[in-house]
Amino acid sequence: MAEAHQAVAFQFTVTPEGVAFQLSREALKHLYLSLLYSWKKRFARLKNSLRTGVFPGTPSGWLAVFVTTVGSMYFRVDVSLGLIIRIRRHLPSSCSHLSLRNRTLLSAVVFSTGVWVSGILLCRQALKLLLSYHGWMFEAHGKTSRSTKIWVALVKLMSGRHPLLYSFQPSLPKLPVPRVSDTIQRYLESVRPLLEDEKYDQMEALAVEFEHQVAPRLQTYLVLKSWWATNYVSDWWEEYIYLRGRDPIMVNSNYYVMDFLYAIPTTLQPARAGNAVHAILQYRRRLDREELAPVMALGVVPMCSYQMERMFNTTRIPGKDRDSLFHLSESKHLAVYHKGRFYKVWLYHAGQHLPPRDLELQFQRILDDPSPPQPGELRLAALTAGGRRPWAEAREKYFSHGRNKASLDCIERAAFFLTLDEEAHGLDQGQEDSLDQYAKSLLHGRCYDRWFDKSFSLVVYRNGKLGANAEHSWADAPIMGHLWEFMLATDNFQLGYCSDGHCHGVPNTSLPPPQRLAWDLGEECREAIEASYGVAKALADDVDFCCFRFTEFGKGRIKKCRTSPDSFIQIALQLAHFRDKGSFCLTYEASMTRLFREGRTETVRSCTSEATAFVCSMMNPNCSPSECLQLFKVAAEKHQHLYRLAMTGCGIDRHLFCLYVVSRYLGVDSPFLAKVLSEPWRLSTSQTPQQQIKMFDLEANPECVSCGGGFGPVADDGYGVSYIIAGENLITFHVSSKFSSPETDSKRFGKNIHQALLDISGLFQVPPRKMAN
C-alpha cells in the first residue's frame, strides 16, 4: 500500500481535538512538477503557434523594419511617404496625453508592424505561387533547366530559416480540380487495354454522354467547393472511403509495419518495449513542439504535414452508420494487453517521461502478473475486429456506463496501444514461411490481441522483435513510416542496451505498478464478443500471405539501367500477373498528393497500353530481346508520366470520386460514374517509403534494413502487393490474397514476381549481383 499512500497529497483525520492534516511532501512535489510540465507545454504550443503564424517572418525581421523606419526619421527621410503622420493624427484620444515624440514613435511601431505583416503575406503568396509550379517534376532525370534552377533559388529565398513542422502549411497550394475532358480522356486511355472493342465503345459512349450532359453541373459545384475548402477531396475521402465502411477494418483497411529485417537489438521483450515506447514518446514530444523538420521533396519542396496531427491520442469510435475519430491533445498513459488482460501504464513521473529502464520495469511487472483474465476479457478486443455496426451496438449497450465505460475510456484515451505478445516472430532462416507468419501476426494476430480502433497498436514479441498495426482513416502509410523510422533509429543507435540486454539506467522500484482494468461483461456482452470474434477469425483464416526477399539485385542495378525503380517493379508486376492469371486487370498504385495542402493519395493506373504491349512481347517467342527492351522503356516512361500527373493533382480517380459524391448529393444518376466506381481493383499495389529521415547510414549498417509493411487484399479474387526498395541490393515484397479464391495463390504470384524481375533484368547488359540469403 506504500505506492497508494504516496499518490495522496494530503490526508486528514477527525479527532475529538479537531481535524489533523498530514501532508505528503513527495506527492506535493510530483503535483507541482506535473503542473509545471503542463504549463511549459502550453507555453511551447503558444510560442510555436505564434512562430508558425508569422512564418517566414521573424521578430528580428520586425525589429529591423522598426529600426530602419525610426533611423530614417532621424535623417529626415520619410520612408512611410506620410503614413506615419496620418497614423499619428488618427491615434485614439487615450493617447493624447503622450508627447509628440512618443506619439510619433507609437505611429512608427504601427507602421513597421503593418509593413512587416504585409511582407509576410506577400512572401507567403509568392511562395504559394512558386510551389504551384511543377515543371521540375517532368524534366529528364539529371537534366535541370535554367528556369528550374531559378525557381529553386526563389523557393529557398522565400522559405525562410529554421521552419517548424507546420510552418509551410499556409503557403502550400490547394489541390486543383482537373478539367472534366482531361479526366475522361485519361480514364478512357487507362481502360483501353482492359476492354474488348465492343465494351470499350459502350464505355466511350457513356463517357461522352456524361461529359456533355451531366458533368458540367457537377463540376461547377466541385469547383465551388475547391474555393472554400482546404482540399476538395480529403474530407470526402476520409468520410466515405473509411469512416462509412461497415465491414471489419481488420485486414480490409488496417495495415502493418515490420521491425528490422536482420538486426535484433535485444531478445528481452520488456526491454525492447521500454526502449520502443520511450523513443515513440520522444517523437511525440518533438511533434507537439513542432521540432520535427518538414518533409521536403528534393530537399526544397515542402510537403503537407497535416496528417501527423492525429498520430497520437486518437481512436476510431464505431457508429451504426458511420464511425468518427476521437482525438485528444494530450494523453499521459498507455493501454497494454497481455494474455487476455488489459492494463493502464502511466507514462510520466514527476512531470517527466518515464525513462526506458522504468518502462521496462513496468512491462516486466505485467509479464509477471499471474492473475487470469476476467470473464469475457480474453477476446474483448475482437469487437474492434468484427463488423462496425455490431461493435457500435455493443458499445452503446454494454460500455456506456459503470466500470466498463471507465475501462473503455482508458483504452480510447491512451496515447497508443501496446501488445506484449506471447509468440515469437521475425526472420528465421530455417523456417521458409517465417516472414509470412510474421506478416499475418501483425495484420490480424489472433483477432483479439490488437485494439484495431487505435491510431496504431505497437506489438512486441516474446523474442524481442516488434511491429505495429495501424488504423488507416487518420493518415496514410508514409506518416506512420516517418514515426517508425525515428523509433527504430532512436532505439538502436541512441538509446541502446546494456550487455545483458536490459535498458540503460537503474529502475525506480517505488513506481506505482500498472493498473489492471476492471470489466463487468455479462452473458449477452460475451455473446456479442464471440460473434465478432467468429467474423474476424473467418476473415483472418482466409488471408493467404507471402512475404519474401528479392536479393538478386535492387535499386543499384535498376538505376544502372536508367529506369525508375518504381516503374521497373510496376511493369514486372504486370508481367507476373499476366503469367499468373493469363489476363490483365485494373491496377491500383498509391501515389501521394502531399505537395498540396491536406493532400492524401491519388491512384496511378499502372496497367497501361504500353505496359500490356511490353508484356505481350515478353510472351511472344518471336520478339527479340532488343524489341522487348524498347517496349519496356516506352512503358516505363509512360508509367513515370502517370505518376507525375497523379502527384501534381492531375489524376483520374479522386476527381471522378468527388464528381460521384456531388451527384449523390444532388440526386443525379450517372451510369458512367456508377460503372467507373464499381470496377474492382484486382491488383492493388503500394511502395513503402524508405529513409524519410536519415538518422543513420544504411550502407554502413546493412543489418538495419527495414522489412517495410503490407496490407490485405482489396478484391476477393485479387492480390495486394506492397514492396520496399531497401538499399542497393534488396527488395522486400508483401503479397496478400484469399484462400477462398480459386484464382489466386500468394506464393505462386510471389514466384512469378521473382521471375519477372529476373527476366526484365536480363534484357539489359548489366550483370546482376548475386546475394546470399
Angstrom distance (rounded) from CA 355 to CA 350: 12
**Is 143 within 8 Å of 101 (Cβ atoms)?**
no
Angstrom distance (rounded) from CA 330 to CA 328: 5
**Residue 42, number of CB atoms within 10 A of its CB:** 12
Angstrom distance (rounded) from CA 418 to CA 434: 22
* Residues 6+ away with beta carbon under 8 Å from 433: none
Angstrom distance (rounded) from CA 404 to CA 402: 5
* Residues 6+ away with beta carbon under 8 Å from 248: 385, 386, 387, 388, 535, 536, 539
| CA 763 to chain centroid | 37
- Residue 656 phi/psi, 5-degree rounding, is -65, -35
What is the residue-wise DSSP string for 107-153? HHHHHHHHHHHHHHHHHHHHHHHHHT--GGGGSPTT---HHHHHHHH
Output the CA–CA distances (angstroms, integers) from residue 720 to 174, 412, 470, in the order listed.
31, 30, 17
577 belongs to the catalytic site? no
Q: Write out the three cell numbers for 654.
A: 479522386
Burial 464-488 (b: 16+ CB within 10 A, else e): bbbbbbbbbbbbbbbbbbbbbbbbb
Please name the helix (run of DSSP H) or strand (run of DSSP E) that holds residue 638, with its range, or none.
helix 625-647
Q: Write out the three cell numbers for 189.
A: 486511355
**Residue 684, number of CB atoms within 10 A of its CB:** 23
Residue type, 374: Q
Burial 304-332 (b: 16+ CB within 10 A, else e): bbbbbbbbbbbbbebbeeebebeeeeebe
Q: Write out the three cell numbers for 662.
A: 456531388
**Is 294 within 8 Å of 163 (Cβ atoms)?**
yes
Q: Name the DSSP letter for residue 212.
A: I
Instruction: Quote the longest CA-to-CA distance of the chain.
Output: 108
| CA 190 to chain centroid | 28
Starting at the edge strand found earlier in the chain, the sheet holding 709-711 runs: 515-516, 341-346, 333-338, 417-420, 456-460, 466-470, 255-258, 709-711
**Which is the catalytic residue, given 278, 333, 353, 472?**
472
Angstrom distance (rounded) from CA 423 to CA 390: 29
Catalytic site positions: 472
